[in-house]
Homo-oligomer: A and B are copies of this chain.
Amino acid sequence: MTRRRITGFSNPSVKAIRALREKKHRRREGRFLAEGLRLLTDARENGRLPETLVLSDARDPHPLLAALEAAVTEAGGEVLETTPDILSKITGKANPQAVAGVFTEFDTSLERVDRSRAPIWLVAQALRDPGNLGTMLRTGDAVGAGGLILIDDCADPFGVETVRASMGAIFTQQLAQASWPEFLEWLRAGAGEQGGQLVAASLRDARPYRGAPYAAPCFVMVGNESQGLPDAYEAACDLRVTMPMKGRADSLNAAVAAAVLAYEVLATLDA
């Protein structure tokens, strides 16, 4: 296997990869960055290989790392080897993982979503926190969701923080992006047997989340961190449910609300 060795911070490849930490460069290049052997192995096992694999020369040998490198090479990808310092600069982490990869962004058009493929889908409306998005992807994987649908102006799902917080679920969960009218039209156009039940975690006109009549495919939607869901969006839902709030706060963290609700849906559908 041939590896290209890079030792200079000002190397054009280093600069180009590092630039993927910024959204405008990701948009322009259609590429994103993921780090860590575990994430990259999840990617490989889901049929996603990086175009460029970057290895630290301080790495320990590992059979999964060898398998990854072989797969990337066989697919015609590029393998770079560099110092921990440069990897640290690329990923923005003081203690970088031993490996990182540059991936082509996925097609996130809603039309590619086959709702019958899974009983649960998560929906995030105008979620601004990349960590919340990544956590929702991770939760989606855990509850057997098909994927995450991003409505309106959400954080970039291909950002480094989102990918990191997803713990690999960025490669196992399907991602779609749509405006609210697009999503609603798509959801209702699939009516009948396909259908789809839209459920909002809500505070208004809502029934208790436990024992609610969830039905597959169930779309579990949470709204923006500070504003919640717009009234009109809640009104369009098939079901509005609420979690107990015993204290002073009137809401949960968005990713937490999605998880508590999704696990309840899972228990209902599995029962």
Which A residues lie at the B interface, using CB under 8 A?
Answer: 42, 45, 131, 135, 138-144, 165, 167-169, 172, 210, 243-249, 251-253, 255-256, 259-260, 263, 266-267, 270
Contacts and interface: CB of A to CB of B under 8 A. Distances in A.
Contacts of A244: 142-144, 263, 266, 270
Contacts of A251: 167
Given A210-B267, A260-B260, A172 B253 contact: no
Given A138-B256, A246-B266, 16 more contacts: A135-B253, A138-B249, A139-B252, A141-B247, A141-B248, A142-B246, A142-B247, A142-B249, A143-B244, A143-B246, A143-B247, A167-B249, A168-B248, A172-B249, A243-B263, A253-B255
A168 B248 CA distance: 9
Instruction: Report how many copies the assembly holds.
Output: 2
A142 B243 contact: yes
Contacts of A135: 253, 256
A252 B142 contact: yes
Given A131-B131, A260-B260, A267-B210, A142 B245 contact: yes
A177 to B, nearest CB: 21
Contacts of A255: 253, 256
A201 to B, nearest CB: 12
Contacts of A141: 246-249
A247 B147 CA distance: 11
A168 B251 CA distance: 12
A210 B268 CA distance: 11
